[in-house]
Every structure is written in C-alpha cells, then in structure tokens.
A and B are shown apart, each in its own frame.
Chain A
Amino acid sequence: MTVDPHVLARARARVLGVVSADASAPVPSGLTGASDGTRVWLLPQWPDGATPALLEEYDTAPMPLDRPGQQRRVLAAALRCCWTKLDDAPWPGGEAPVIDVLEVYAGMSRGDADLARRWATGELRRLSDTGWLLLDETAGTVRPGPRVALWREESLASLRDLLRRLPQPVREDAPHE
C-alpha cells in the first residue's frame, strides 16, 4: 500500500505539531510553510486568511490555556529581544540569549525576580513546544517561532507600539549565576 507523500506529510504535521523540513521539501496542500531560508516549518492554513482569533467573534471557546496572560507576556518579552528591527516582519527575526528574555520578563513583572525567571523558563518551553518560539536550550538562545509568520501584517501595529515601549534588556546588572 502506498501512501501519497503529501498526505503522509500532512498527517505528520498534524500529529507532531510544528515540524520542520528541508527548505527544498515540497509543502503539502492544506498547509502553509514558514521558511527561514534553510528550513521550512509546516503550519496549518485557514481559509480566507482567517486566524483562530475569529473564534472569539463567534463566542467559541479557543484552545484552553493555563495562565494565558503569563504566557503572552513571556512571548512579548521574547519578541522584545528577538524582533529588534520592528519595521520588518517578526519572522524569521534574530536570535537572542534566553537570559535577556528572562531579564525583560522579570523587569515587567512584580515580585520575586528569581521566581519570575523560573516561571518564564517554563513558559518559554511551552511556547517552544507549540511553535511560537524556537528555543535552543543547549545554546541558551531563543528566536521567534514559525507561528508568528501567520500574524497578519495589519494586526501588528499595536504589538510594535508595545515592543517599543518595553524596556531594553539590561545586561550589565544581570549577573546570571
């Protein structure tokens, strides 16, 4: 029994989450590819350019999320560090040290900074699992995930404003033990 390689690739992408393939690999129909030049990530494609944010307009519960606010704040902190050229698109962005992201997040939040860093580390991993960030734990770097490539250009204005307002990562007074 032979299986259409496109069907197989689509099934793999659905089951394994966000998978990357060589940039030369074909993108099966029904999926869209986010490429950074060398690799291509297969992502779901929605009709008519809609995003899951449309669910809200229909009063449909989106994918449930533990502590969505915290996860989005960590995403914002990561983008602050990775998306340095705000006039460009966020994808593919640049690499940034995880320490910087943790510092930005700790600066954004109240309370124990160590605790905030630990929370943020967990959220970074979750964001990396779902394709919102690409986390390289051995190198200690993070870069935007392929999913941010699905953001529509016209929805980015407020996010750009926000990232301009967020504080810069402060390297000197952040000794990381």
Chain B
Amino acid sequence: MSPTSETVVTAADDAPSLDDALVGEAVLGVYRQMFAALARDSGAVVDDPELVDVAETLLAAFADAGEEGLTREQMRYVCRRYPAEVFDNRLRVLKGLGAVREVFPKPNQLRYRASFTSVVGLMFVRRMMLDGGQSEMHRLLALEQLNVADPRMTAEQARDGAEGLARAFRLWSVELITLTNGTIEELREQAPKLWGTEEILRRAERLHGAILRRWPELDRTCTDLRAAIYAYGDASRRAAARLSDSAGTTRNLTLLPPETWRTFARTASREELAAVLDGFVFDAPAPWHEPSTVVTAVEDGPRATPPRPAPPRPSTPDPGLSGDTGSDATAVERLRAVAEQVLRGRDRVAVEDVLDQDWPAARRVLADLQSAHLHPGLPYRLTWSDGLAVRPGGSPTWISPGVFERTPPSGPRANGGTAP
C-alpha cells in the first residue's frame, strides 16, 4: 500500500474537522471551475455542443475586456448569436460553478470577471476531443521527464507520477483490448485515437529508466509502470494486427476507402490479384442437374413459337379427305350427259315433251334440268312462260309451258372454258 492511501485511512479515522471541510471545498472549487464550461447545470454535463461554444465565446470576451471585466449587458451583446434563454442558463451555471464571478464579492455587483482555471480546463477539453488523449499522454510524459530531471523533485512525487502514468496506460490498454475483441467497424473507428506509436512507448520507457536510476527504492512502482507500458504495447500491436488481418481477408470492403480498392484492382498484376485468394480451398459442391429438372427446365423455358393448342381430332381413325369433295367434275359431267340426252342434238326442247312419262321419272329429269340451269359452268337454260295447261288424264296433270335450251357460248351464263 502506498503512503497516500494510509494517510487517507488515518484521516478517515479521525473526526472530520472544519479545516478538512475547508480543504475539501477548495479542491471542489477548482474542479468546478475547470469543468464549468462542460456543465449543463450544477449536476450534469452538457448535452449540446453549442452550450460549450457559448462558454468559449464568453471566456474569449473576458480575455479581451481586461481587468475591467464585463457587465451583464456586454456579455449578452457578445453572445447575441445565441437565444436569450440559452445565454441566461449558461451564465447562471457558470456563475454557480465559479467560472464567472463578481469583480468584488458584494451585493448588486454589475461587473464580472472570468476564472483562469476554466479557460485552461476548456483548452484541455478541446485538445482531448481533438486527439483522444494521445497527445495529452505525450505532453504528460514530456512533463514528467522534466520533473524527474528537476533537483527539487522528491521520491514521493516521482512515485505519484509513475503510479498515475501506470494507471493511465493500464486503462488505455484495457480500452484497446475491449475494442480489439469487439466489432471490426468499431475498432477501425476508434483505434487510431487509442493505439500507441513507438514514440510514446519509447518515451515512457525512457521516463521509467530515469525514475529507476534516480530513485532505486521505487523499483516496485517502476515494475508496475513497466508492466503497464508493455501491456499497452501488446494491446496496441494486437489491435493493429486485427485491423490489418481483417482488411486483408474480409469481404467488408469499407475497411479501406473505395478508391484504394479500385486503384489496387486496376494496378495490380495478375499474380497479385491471384495472391488474394492464396490459402483458400474451394470445396463447393458442384451443382446437380437431375434429369427431371432438365426436362422441367426445357418445358418451362421460353419457346421459339408460342405454344398453340392442336385442333381436336375424332377418336375414331381418320380416313382422310374424301376424294369427291372440293371438285364437282363428276356432277357436272352427269348433268351435261342428262342435258344432252334431253336435247338430243337440238338447241331447244319444250319441257312438256320431256316430261311425258310417269311422274317419278319425270320429276328426276326436271330436277336435273333445273340443276343444269342453275349451274354456272353449264351452257343450258330453263325458261318458263305464263300460262297453265291442265291435262286431266295426263302425267303430270298440269304444266306450264317451258323451254330447255342451249345457251350460246357468248351468252351471259356461259363461263368460257366449259362451253362446248
């Protein structure tokens, strides 16, 4: 145990005195002033970066104003960019924490001055925001180096300094290790602010050597510091290795800027591109084409011609087209034969002469003559005239006089080729 913690223990054993309370209050005052710029109210930290800007503007205005300080109206004028309620809130908090205080502590004081501590605190905070404590660590190490060389430095102070540094390094490496085990995206985002450079490690080791040379009795503290430094170095190397590993093998192309990948793909040689997959064994199963899936694919595929349903077929065997449809040559020949038989070489014949037989035969002849008359390809004509001859004993029993005649080839009913 260090002597510091022993004194704490003994102080806690005694009843707290008014002096202790006073010392504690002074320490708290410094803390409050330091972080007044970051306070939302006396109990919490700001939740809007703009509030810090208000404080900074105010502190800059105080620096310009000199020893006169600023009145409330002047402060309001300086902060005219910000809404009135924001400004009032900031001023109240800053006053409450002691960052802005009256020039003289008396009632109805009009002029205010700013605390130097707050400005330094704000500078520190801004620097931390910029580079996440790394350069702060550089500064601390450089400062500590100077202190160690200072002849007024005591062993106690050196021990405190070394312990503080060891603690910082430990926390630092813990954070890095947590990140290293986390997601790669987070590591990529955060690690550059955290991981160490060779420079920091060298500086820390040099400081450690200087302390150990000057105060050999601090060897235990120095061992702690050394272990912390090495742990930090390891964590930092591991984070870097994880990041470079994942950049090499990951499919997450966001680990490097797109332009880098593009440039690599364009400029790399064939061997370099092939080397990306060195060490990979591809054992993917080959695709399988089952015969039935091949059949399905062909049948479902787009076709050259859209499928058209076949016309329905009779279930009985189809004898095919019959020979006598489509051409009425035989019918024409029969009609012509009948007509020539009726005419017997003459050009015209009276219908009643043709029909002087029994009615069943006569009506067949009449039907044939009518067909020959109506057939457009045959040169015959059947014309009826008015009148009606009644023949009570004859067959048929009545008849209109009519003529069956051959039409001339140039006649309106003669159709060229078929005319005799």
Contacts and interface: CB of A to CB of B under 8 A. Distances in A.
B295 interface: yes
Interface in B260-312: 281-304
Interface of B: 281-304
Given A72-B293, A162-B294, A53 B281 contact: no
A15 B283 contact: yes
Contact of B298 (A17, A72, A110, A111): A72
A63 B291 contact: no
Interface of B is mostly: loop
A7 interface: no
B285 A73 contact: no
Nearest to A167: B304
A108 B294 contact: no
Contacts of B290: 51-53, 151, 155
Interface of A: 14-15, 17-18, 51-53, 62-63, 65, 68-73, 75-76, 79, 107-111, 130-132, 147, 151, 155-156, 158-159, 161-162, 166
A63 B301 CA distance: 21
Select the residue from B285, B287, B290 with max chain A CB neighbours within 10 A: B287
B286 to A, nearest CB: 4
B285 A63 contact: yes
B288 A53 contact: yes
Nearest to B285: A63
B292 A73 contact: no
A69 B295 CA distance: 10
Nearest to A158: B295
Contacts of B301: 69-70, 73, 108-109
Given A15-B281, A72-B293, A107-B304, A62 B298 contact: no
A76 B298 contact: yes
B281 to A, nearest CB: 6
A165 B285 CA distance: 32
B297 A108 contact: no
Contact of A130 (B287, B291, B293, B299): B287
Contact of A76 (B281, B294, B304): B294
B302 A110 contact: yes
Nearest to B306: A110
A111 B298 CA distance: 16
A130 B285 CA distance: 9
Given A53-B288, A69-B301, A75-B289, A14 B283 contact: yes
Given A72-B297, A151-B290, 12 more contacts: A14-B283, A15-B282, A17-B286, A52-B285, A52-B290, A62-B288, A72-B296, A73-B297, A76-B295, A109-B303, A158-B291, A158-B292
A98 to B, nearest CB: 19
Contact of A159 (B284, B285, B295): B295
B344 to A, nearest CB: 64
B289 A132 contact: yes
A83 B303 CA distance: 22
Contacts of B303: 108-110
